[in-house]
Amino acid sequence: MVVKLFDNIEQLPIERFNKVNKFWMLHDNIGSSIGDFDAVHYSKLALLAGDKEKCLAELANFRIMVFNIMNEINVEHLSFASLVHSINGEEQNDLSNEALTALLKRLSDFGLTQEALKKKLQRSEKVSMKT
């Protein structure tokens, strides 16, 4: 299986650019795994303890993260799927959540690991931040 990815955010068509940005923003602000609770929400809640409104907003973000985890939605993975240009020469243009989830399953069945996915995302983000 040959998987070609967009390596530079500047290469993305507008719709795909918006989708990737949405998933990156959700991952950065809400998280994708229970480990993000400690890294994101717990520390924010401790800092916001005196501000009831901000604390409630942070709890709402945490609720969304838990909902996503319970429904096997990982926005970090969806951002990766949004960066897939083609598989075996076949362009991947369906950016619906269902199509992106099916693409992730296909890649997972082929052996894509969390470690490989994270490495590629980190490299893509570094390239994107340079532009």
Token code pair at residue 110: 């082929």
Distances (CA, A) of 1 to 14, 58, 76, 78, 99: 27, 41, 22, 20, 18
Condensed to tens digits (0 to 9), the pLDDT of residues 17-60 reads 999 999 999 988 888 888 888 777 777 888 888 888 988 888 88
Domain ranges of the chain: 14-27+74-131, 33-73
Condensed to tens digits (0 to 9), the pLDDT of residues 55-74 reads 888 888 888 989 999 899 99
pTM: 0.78
